[in-house]
Amino acid sequence: MILQFKVKNFLSIREEQTLDFTASADKTYEDYAVVKIKGVRISKLGVVYGPNASGKSNILKALAWFIFYLVASRSKKPGTGTGLTPFMMDEDSRNQNSSFELIFYIGDVRYEYSVVLNNQKIYKEELYFYPNNRRALFYERTWNEDKSNSSISFGPLLKLSATQKLFIESNCISNATVLTTYKNANVEKNVELDKVFNYFESEFMPLLSKNDNLGQLANDVVRLDADSKKFICEMLEKADFNISDIYIKEEKGEVSEEAMEKFRKIAKILHISEPQDKSISTEELFFTHKTPFYTGSLSNMVESEGTNRMYGLSALLFTLIKNNQTLLCDELENSLHYDLFTHIIKTFLVNSDRAQLIFSTHSLMLLDEDFIRRDMVYFANKNESGATEIYRAKDFGLHKEVSILNAYRAGKLGAKPQLGSIFIDE
């Protein structure tokens, strides 16, 4: 689980900003909303508000980029840079290093991971953990400018041999993390290093944007896990879509010779190997509807965006709850009625154990729900220089009887569009 994430100098974020999932002492829906790990209270839900172009999506992108592209990516090559985009709206930031820090738990063990880098190389990388409730070095990596290489110190609790240490250090290129280097290297496996890399590679679901087509992801879930179908059908039935069943129809065929010839010409131009296999398979999702006057199946192609969105989110929700993963989603409510939106959130809170759901939203009504605690709510706003700032609702110290929704609408919490007059000047 994530306890805290910090980022500095990335996209619209200039100064260090924090997503802190430390839960307050508030007892509201504590049994469903808070996970306790060795006395540390961690929130299962994070909700980010803000006007358009405030950077609320960028805080999610920062976390996703750190996890998927920097830490868990296996495709780094020498000289290709890190792929980082710093804050571009002032010259100093463009030339300064960026930093990321993640405090997280694997089981009951706390880890603190930080990286300092620019768009070309990683300058510092540190990982500490608390295996016996005391802080211990996992590894520390520093870039040596004069030697153009990295020096890495490994903690004794990893129990790495001298050969393993030397192999990892000598293969660690400037734009790849130590974890990535270890996973790509042909070196004897280490239990502790595997545990951390696997956390980043398998515990996080892909960042979802509001317009993502979730159909293929959902179809994969249905194919790979037989239990998912029952859960998804129940979610769709509760949503009052008159859907009693789902099935995926697969068809196999062959590409025509005319099309194959076109593929060969394109392959020649691009200097890639020519396609040899003419077989092709397609799949189509069908929803079985049952009403007093009709029973039959309809392709998802003729279903509404809301039905398809609910199908996709139901499949991901099943996976999230079952595997105790973390899901990041930009504008979770897109194409959904408000009641379906809140039903998804409540289903997650009540049925999940150590999973986390972090999303941005424009749905103000959610602020007035009693299951949305103040330590779950974040606001994103841009300052005078165009840089994103993140802050929590609980930090305003509002009395518990004061409505967050009313305070936000009144402009007391910021992160609200300043529209001015509705009259157009002639």
Residue 241 lies in a domain: yes
**Mean pLDDT on 190-196:** 97
Rounded alpha-carbon distances, angstroms, from residue 75 to 113, 177, 181, 203, 332: 21, 11, 10, 19, 30
**pLDDT in the model for residue 266:** 67
**Mean pLDDT on 115-142:** 97
Angle between helices 226-238 and 305-323 (to 10 degrees): 130
Residue 248 lies in a domain: yes
**pLDDT in the model for residue 272:** 56
Least confident among 85-99, 255-269, 285-299: 255-269
Percent above pLDDT 70 for the chain: 97
**pLDDT in the model for residue 342:** 98
Q: HSE of 1 in the Cβ direction (CA atoms, 13 Å)?
A: 27
Residue 95 lies in a domain: no
The DSSP string of 123-157 is EEEEEEE-TTSS-EEEEEEEEETTTTEEEEEE-GG
Residue 256 lies in a domain: yes
- What ranges make up the beta strands (E) of 188-344? 243-254, 279-290, 295-299, 326-329
User: Do residues 43 and 34 lie in contact, with contact meaning Cβ atoms separated by under 8 Å?
Assistant: yes
**Mean pLDDT on 281-300:** 89
Residue 329 lies in a domain: no
State which amino acid sits at residue 339. D
User: Do residues 30 and 19 lie in contact, with contact meaning Cβ atoms separated by under 8 Å?
Assistant: no
CB-count exposure of residue 56 (10 Å: 0-12, 13-18, 19+): buried
**Mean pLDDT on 262-286:** 71
Residue 311 lies in a domain: yes
Does residue 251 or residue 220 have the better pLDDT? 220
Provide the 8-state DSSP code for 335: T
Whole-model pTM: value is: 0.91
Look up residue 355 and give its two tokens. 């999973």
pLDDT digits over 37-52, tens only? Answer: 999 999 999 999 999 9
Q: Which residue has the tokens 């990535």?
A: 180
Of the chain, the end-to-end C-alpha distance in Å amounts to: 55
**pLDDT in the model for residue 271:** 55
Range of the domain at 274: 215-322
Confidence check: pLDDT of 345 > 80: yes
State which amino acid sits at residue 372. I
**pLDDT in the model for residue 144:** 93
Calpha distance 111→38 (Å, rounded): 13
Residues 6+ apart with CB under 8 A from 129: 109, 110, 111, 112, 135, 136, 138
Percent above pLDDT 90 for the chain: 74
pLDDT digits over 365-405, tens only? Answer: 999 999 999 999 999 999 999 999 999 999 898 888 888 99
Rounded alpha-carbon distances, angstroms, from residue 183 to 116, 171, 188: 21, 11, 10
- Residue 343's CB is within 10 A of a number of other CB atoms, namely 16
**pLDDT in the model for residue 274:** 67
**pLDDT in the model for residue 36:** 98
Model confidence at 75, pLDDT cuts 50, 70, 90, reads confident
- Report the SS3 class of residue 392: strand
Confidence check: pLDDT of 33 > 60: yes
Residue 12 lies in a domain: no
How many separate domains does the chain show?
Answer: 1
User: Do residues 160 and 185 lie in contact, with contact meaning Cβ atoms separated by under 8 Å?
Assistant: no
- Report the SS3 class of residue 375: helix
Q: What is the dihedral of CA 69, 75, 80, 84, to 10 degrees?
A: 0
Residue 280 lies in a domain: yes
Calpha distance 173→101 (Å, rounded): 21
Round the average pLDDT of the chain to a whole number and report it. Answer: 92
